[in-house]
Structure 1
Amino acid sequence: MKKRLWWGIGIVVVLLAAGGWWFSRNAQSPLKVSAGKVSPISMQEDIYATGSVVPNSRQDVYVLNPGLVSKVTVKAGDSVKTGQVLVGLDQTLANAQVAQAQANVDAAQAGVNAAQGNVTDLKQAQSAVQSSAATAGAAQAGAGTVNISGTGGGNINGNSGSAGLNPASGGSAFPSALSSSGLGSSVHQAEGTLAQSQAALKQAQEALQVAQAQRDQLTYKSSLDGTALEVNVQAGNPAPVQQPLVVIADLKHMNVNMQLNEMDAAKLKMGGKVTVTSKTLGSTSLTGVIAKIAPEAVIQPSAQGNASPTVAVTVRLDQAPVLLKPGYSVTVQAIVATKKNVLAVPLESVFQEGSKNYVYRIQNGLLHKTEVKVGIGNDTDQEITAGLKSGDQIVLNPTNQLSEGQAVTPDLGSDGA
């Protein structure tokens, strides 16, 4: 029994000694890590985004008032000109309304003409009466001072001469004056009737304009030179309400619409140049200009419910080849910064903890967790503005197994030891 116990104790001692030797040996062996040297380079920061091709100018023609389609003058793919008729709705009722409104205008115009003629006649009669009264008054005034009977031998005598006009005889001046006063009242009434007729004419003319405008709304025309992308109507069928009758677009001038995250959008500038590529275009690339940056970020609906805010950006293409159709997907590259002789490290060598950036710097075979400040970056390199100097060795692919003060052996690869 004692012999077996001693054998067991001996085995445990041997195992402990072997384990201690293995851990001691491995603790003393530095970990081999892939490393690189910090060096100055020339670099540029790029932003890549996908976008959709859209026409710069587009007209979606929707029906204003439901009706029966009487004519369709275009089909999908046709070229159209500004002002060209695209679709016409039935105008039977509208034409009748215009005809009735025109008849009302004609009747109102006849009323104005009659009222104007009445005013003119009354004014002429009033003028004639006033002229007659003035003539008669002048004659009576002259008879009181001059004797023209021929019996007085030319004597100037207000009481002699039977051929003179005697104011006391009554004459015709007084009745004429009374008639002029009555005509004045009639003229005033006639002018009031004329004003009412003119107001009625204006109202009828405005009603005619409304009827004509409503009829014109049944004819739909193109507001631009372009191509018919969609034609969703047929003659003899009711006009659709939920979809456009016709869609016209200018395919010679195209844009690219894209959505960028907040950080990338903040780096873009109005008027900045971009490069646009597409599978459709193969190796051919297009140039474009940043034409619009939305003033706000919008959270797009997402099934996962975790969408981030994005900013709408529009790129205007300098030229739009025929192969590039509306709705095609393209890739946009924008160079937002370019620097020469900057300290940079491979992008994968930088790791984050909280809001700070770090690298593992290798000095005298030991790791030093070093905080760094970063500048511009691209898909391969990251500028370092503080924390490192040229010639420093860093770990290229840090992992969670690394820690401050750990002994390592740097593997510089093609850069040498």
Structure 2
Amino acid sequence: MQSRQAAREQAELPPPRQVQVVALGRVEPSSRVIDVAASSSGRIDRLVVQQGDTVETGQVLAYLDTYAVRRAERDLAASQLAEARAQLAAETNLGRSQVQEASSRLGQIDQPQQAAIAAQAAAIQSLQAELNVAEIDLDRFQQLNESGAIARQELDRQRATVNRLQADLANATATRQRLEQARDQDLANAQAQVAATEASASLAQVMSRVDSAAQSLALAESQLALTLIRAPQPGQVLDIFAYPGEAVSLAGEPVLALGDTRQMIVVAEVYETDIGLVQLGQQATITSRNGAFADTLTGTVEDIGLRIAKNDVLDDDPAANADARVVEVRVRVDQSQVVARLTNLQVDVAIDIES
């Protein structure tokens, strides 16, 4: 009777409150493990890193066997570009010299002609002044002749002087016009020569060769870059899959694995039934069931996955569910140095859902 009463009371008690979410997890770098592959097919010629080496972004990790050929092609393209640029500089200097020479000839033609035109204009001005005086004298001589003060012969001489000056002025004016027309024609011819010199000094063809050489160099540098395997991010070489002499291809295996082990995380595979209890910022403890490290590590939930998938980390218990549906939860480890060399280690994770 008492046992039935105790059982009834026990059944009426509320179920125990869950305070932790436990899960299996794996250790990996916070940057994830990057499988570094070759950008072109070939064979590994030289590896310049070893497992465990620390590398920086862009650092060369390995050379393919086509590197020497591509480097020679790049050097040839660089020399062709340098030659084209030197030719462009020479053509530019020659063109400038020719244009300057043509412009100098233009000045040599123009200056004497301007001087001749100016002298002719001065002569016209002098003749015009003489003619003005002679015409005034002619009027006075006509008046004097009418009054009988001078002889007819004096009047005729003055009229002849006026006629001569008018003829000289007309000739001088015509000469100036011829000089101006000749100057205009000579200037037009000289300017045409300058324009022709500038046109003949056109650098379009040479510049086209420079552009073509620059494009060839860019192509050669791109092809050379394909023969180098570089680090896409800073980190540590975790494993090497291909060694000198082994073939690599775009569709083949990666050359090496790289991860930034300065900060490690644990990817905990939380059952879909428990994921609603997990929140960002919750504290977690991490232990190793196989003794890979002795102390209990701590961490913080920093990311909760958005996709439910089949579990990747399998329990060593044969009765465990090998086809569970889980969500990956990333836990930032506080003691990264302890597990920095233990990528993919299986661990037990307990997330404190009350923290």
> Counterpart in 2 of 1:337?
354
> Counterpart in 1 of 2:142?
none
Range with bigger deviation, 50-59 or 70-79: 70-79
Amino acid at match of 1:297: I
Aligned CA RMSD, in angstroms, stands at 3.9
Structure 1 residues 199-218: aligned runs within 5 Å: 199-218=208-227
The answer to whether the Cα contact below 8 Å between 1:147 and 1:155 also exists between their aligned partners in 2 is no
Amino acid at match of 1:55: P
Structure 2: distance between partners of 1:170 and 1:142? 10
Deviation, 1:283, is 5.7
Fraction of identical pairs, as percent: 22
Structure 1: distance between partners of 2:176 and 2:72? 68
The answer to whether the Cα contact below 8 Å between 1:76 and 1:231 also exists between their aligned partners in 2 is yes
Structure 1: distance between partners of 2:91 and 2:109? 27
The answer to whether the Cα contact below 8 Å between 2:27 and 2:342 also exists between their aligned partners in 1 is yes
Structure 1 residues 348-367: aligned runs within 5 Å: none
> Counterpart in 2 of 1:230?
239
| Aligned partner (choices 175, 181, 190) of residue 200 of structure 2 | 190
Range with bigger deviation, 248-257 or 47-56: 248-257
Describe the SS at the equivalent of 1:326.
coil
Distance 1:83 1:99, change over 3 A: closer
Whether 2:302 is the aligned partner of 1:291: answer yes
Structure 1: distance between partners of 2:184 and 2:130? 29
Deviation, 1:129, is 3.4
> Counterpart in 1 of 2:317?
none
The answer to whether the Cα contact below 8 Å between 1:44 and 1:335 also exists between their aligned partners in 2 is no
Whether 2:20 is the aligned partner of 1:46: answer yes
Amino acid at match of 1:319: Q
| Aligned partner (choices 104, 118, 138) of residue 128 of structure 1 | 104
> Counterpart in 1 of 2:331?
315
Structure 2: distance between partners of 1:135 and 1:107? 42
Distance 1:233 1:298, change over 3 A: closer
Amino acid at match of 1:317: V
> Counterpart in 1 of 2:263?
253
Q: Deviations over 1:251-308 (max 9, x none)?
A: 332111132233322221122221111122566211111121122334569xxxx956
Structure 2: distance between partners of 1:107 and 1:78? 42
Deviation, 1:311, is 2.0
| Aligned partner (choices 55, 72, 80) of residue 29 of structure 2 | 55
Structure 1 residues 18-97: aligned runs within 5 Å: 32=4, 34-35=6-7, 36=9, 45-57=19-31, 58-90=33-65, 91-97=67-73
Structure 2: distance between partners of 1:72 and 1:138? 80
The answer to whether the Cα contact below 8 Å between 2:59 and 2:230 also exists between their aligned partners in 1 is yes
Deviation, 1:174, is 4.8
Amino acid at match of 1:181: Q
Distance 1:266 1:277, change over 3 A: same
The answer to whether the Cα contact below 8 Å between 2:236 and 2:258 also exists between their aligned partners in 1 is yes
Higher strand share: 1
The answer to whether the Cα contact below 8 Å between 1:129 and 1:179 also exists between their aligned partners in 2 is no
Higher helix share: 2
Amino acid at match of 1:254: M
* Structure 2: segments with no counterpart, 5+ residues: 132-164, 313-321
Describe the SS at the equivalent of 1:316.
strand
The answer to whether the Cα contact below 8 Å between 1:290 and 1:316 also exists between their aligned partners in 2 is yes
Structure 2: distance between partners of 1:239 and 1:335? 46
Distance 1:155 1:103, change over 3 A: farther
> Counterpart in 2 of 1:176?
186
Distance 1:33 1:283, change over 3 A: farther
Structure 2: distance between partners of 1:265 and 1:187? 82
Structure 2: distance between partners of 1:228 and 1:265? 34
The answer to whether the Cα contact below 8 Å between 1:297 and 1:310 also exists between their aligned partners in 2 is yes
Deviation, 1:48, is 0.7
Structure 1: distance between partners of 2:37 and 2:240? 11
The answer to whether the Cα contact below 8 Å between 1:275 and 1:332 also exists between their aligned partners in 2 is yes
Deviation, 1:41, is 11
> Counterpart in 1 of 2:157?
none
Structure 2: distance between partners of 1:206 and 1:129? 41
TM-score after normalising by structure 2? 0.69
Structure 2: distance between partners of 1:277 and 1:254? 14
Deviation, 1:321, is 4.1
> Counterpart in 1 of 2:279?
269
Describe the SS at the equivalent of 2:343.
coil
The answer to whether the Cα contact below 8 Å between 2:286 and 2:296 also exists between their aligned partners in 1 is yes
TM-score after normalising by structure 1? 0.60
Higher relative contact order (CA 8 A, sep 6+): 2
> Counterpart in 2 of 1:141?
117
Deviation, 1:217, is 2.9
Deviation, 1:132, is 2.8
Distance 1:281 1:93, change over 3 A: closer
The answer to whether the Cα contact below 8 Å between 2:36 and 2:256 also exists between their aligned partners in 1 is yes
The answer to whether the Cα contact below 8 Å between 1:60 and 1:248 also exists between their aligned partners in 2 is yes
Describe the SS at the equivalent of 2:268.
strand
